[in-house]
Chain A
Amino acid sequence: METLYVVCVGVITACGVFLCLRGRTFSIVVGLTMLSYAVNLFLFSSGRLHLDGAAVLGTSEQYADPLPQALVLTAIVIGFAMIAFVVILAMRGRADLGNDLVDGREPPDTKKLVNSSRGKV
């Protein structure tokens, strides 16, 4: 179970980081969302993984640590609000800057590179 969990968190984090390194706001918003999912899963596992363990004392033989569950709830709420904000900001940026690039303009020589390779093809 631990291995599966670790692989999942790792893959989601890697995807999130990759998407955050892109140059357009849409992929970054998706990347941030994935990153916050990965973080929530990670935080949840910081109290160790238990099966059949209620967080309330006395209801089952072994019990799970309730604190990470509370932390994850807080992190989900905050993360959700922040993602909502960044979506709105990205749309505002699209309207104000006329494109969805993070820098607000094309990177300096993209066009030239694209054009020259087009010519060769």
Chain B
Amino acid sequence: MTMHLSILPILIPMVGGLLMLLPPFIGAERYNARRAATTVITLAHLFTSIWLVYTIVNQGPMMYAVGDWQPPFGIILYADLLSAMLVLLTSVLALGISLYSFAGTDREGRYFHPLVQFQIVGICGAFLTNDLFNLFVFFEVLLIASYALMIHGGGKQRTAANVHYVILNLIGSSVFLISLGTLYGTTGTLNIAHMSLRVAELSDSQALIAQAGASLLLIVFGLKSAMLPLHFWLPRTYAAATAPVAALFAIMTKVGVYCIFRVYTIIFGDNAGELANLIDSLIWPLAILTLIVGTIGALASPSLRTLAGNLVVVSVGTLLLAFAIRTPEATAAGLLYLVHSTLITGALFLIAEMLGQQRGKALDRFVVARKLHQPALLGALFFIAALSVAGLPPFSGFLGKLVIMQSVTLNQDKIWVWSLVLISSLLTIVALSRAGTTLFWRHAPNSGIDGEGAVSRWQISGVVLLLAASVSLVIFGAAMLEYTTNAATQLHNLNGLLNIMNLTGGGQ
């Protein structure tokens, strides 16, 4: 059973999602059956992910040759500490948003739960695969599920945002295929580990073509992760999507960041000969600009959801900075920050909807509106999430930003990273406190409190789960940091990967 463990996080939601399309679960009135099934599947997925992490911590990274076609020929799934951690993160997030959606979001359309499961298939597949074309396929799986989830619930605004989102991502898929064709044409392989060997042996003219392919690949991952010139779609899309969907999307940008980490550390890392570290000069300015533009966007946001969307852009900028430093320590710090920011931005989207349902027509916009029905509860949740996302102690954002700043060693890098991270944190605090004062303290004088829009227990349990997971990041901070350090060391250890794949240097 342990042998097949690394494919289980893909199989469980796939089979589960398909089962939910069958008669016992389908139909508008069978929503309780779907909820029960979702709970079972998500818990099974969570359990499997924990098991996967446990196995990998004890036995080292695992390679799974699909159909027993050995590398470099077959499709290989490769589970190391990094991908196992992200799979676990995905299942925690999925459990949180599923619980939240039981409050009623899932009844706005019949296929909410199956679509969420298919999205999880795509996300976990993208984390686990070691084959570039397979990565493309899993990208498409997660994208087509996200296209449908995005318009879940319907409405003019969602359709308009979805048209942009779908068209952009379809063009992105075309670029992805072109870059894969270029890379396959020059290196003759699609296996990430094998490609890292081949890239170093290319002749000059071939290396030039491979460089074009690698740069195109950066465009694709940049589009997915909302890196600067390609981030325009994100705030609008995330603000338009219904809250649990937006919270689930919080991990989709991280899929792009993960691919940048994986591909540009392994294939085009230090050992790539002529092409070694080819995006380093690009990624610095892009990371810095992403951080700046995200922060400005956060200051200018007219509603809490747009604010959360811009904070996603800020977190992507911070992660890219951690990537740009290019040391295992910085990667470890970035991974810790990645886990934190996914959980917290997810929780913020959920809190925004809960606030919105008690403020009448104003929703979560920063305008004077009727008084909140449950200010203490929502205020406490918002307070924890805001402190955490801004990076104030004692919450996880503080820890994440601290380790990123500590991991910078060069003085000239320090100036950029320290000043940017600190200033953007300060401006984030300004934006969040402005949001908090308007939402909680400014209300129309004679607006009576009616009991409408009371927050359901499901909603609270979902948000509390995400916030508790983020708080436990701090409580087990030392263990978490040790884990991400090991994961980063594994990621930077190319020889270990090649040994597991039974690939040797110097060609076949």
Contact = CB atoms under 8 A, between A and B. Distances in A.
A39 interface: yes
Contact of A82 (B144, B151, B160, B185): B144
Interface string B444-461: 000000000000000000
Contacts of A79: 173
A103 B232 CA distance: 13
Nearest to B171: A20
A102 B167 contact: yes
Interface string A77-113: 0110110011001101100110000111000000000
B181 A25 contact: no
A97 B160 contact: yes
B137 A43 contact: no
B353 interface: no
Contacts of B170: 32, 82, 86
Nearest to B150: A89
Nearest to A16: B174
Contacts of B133: 71, 74
A81 B144 contact: yes
Given A42-B181, A43-B181, A71-B133, A89 B174 contact: no
A64 interface: no
Contacts of A90: 163
Interface in A35-84: 35-36, 38-40, 42-43, 45-48, 67-68, 71, 74-75, 78-79, 81-82
B166 interface: yes
A72 to B, nearest CB: 9
Contacts of A75: 177
A20 B167 CA distance: 9
Interface string B159-198: 1101110110011011001101110110000100000000
Interface residues of B, number: 27
A92 B160 CA distance: 10
A75 B171 CA distance: 13
Contacts of A32: 167, 170-171, 174
A71 B140 CA distance: 14
B171 A86 contact: no
Contacts of A35: 171, 174
Report whether over half of chain A's contact residues are helix, strand or loop; otherwise say mixed: helix
Given A20-B171, A67-B184, A39 B140 contact: no
Interface in B117-167: 133, 137, 140, 144, 147, 151, 155-156, 159-160, 162-164, 166-167
Interface string B219-263: 000000000000000000000000000000000000000000000
A46 B137 CA distance: 18
Contact of A46 (B140, B159, B181): B181
Nearest to A48: B185
A39 B159 contact: no
Interface of B: 133, 137, 140, 144, 147, 151, 155-156, 159-160, 162-164, 166-167, 170-171, 173-174, 177-178, 180-182, 184-185, 190
16 contacts: A39-B178, A40-B177, A46-B185, A47-B184, A67-B190, A71-B180, A74-B133, A74-B137, A78-B173, A86-B166, A89-B159, A89-B163, A93-B163, A96-B156, A97-B160, A104-B159
Interface of A: 16, 20, 25, 28, 32, 35-36, 38-40, 42-43, 45-48, 67-68, 71, 74-75, 78-79, 81-82, 85-86, 89-90, 92-93, 96-97, 102-104
Q: Which 9 interchain pairs have the tightest Cβ spacing?
A: A46-B185, A46-B181, A104-B160, A96-B159, A43-B181, A39-B177, A35-B174, A46-B184, A39-B174
Given A39-B174, A43-B178, 16 more contacts: A35-B171, A35-B174, A38-B174, A40-B177, A43-B181, A46-B181, A46-B182, A48-B185, A68-B184, A71-B181, A79-B173, A85-B144, A86-B166, A96-B160, A102-B163, A103-B160
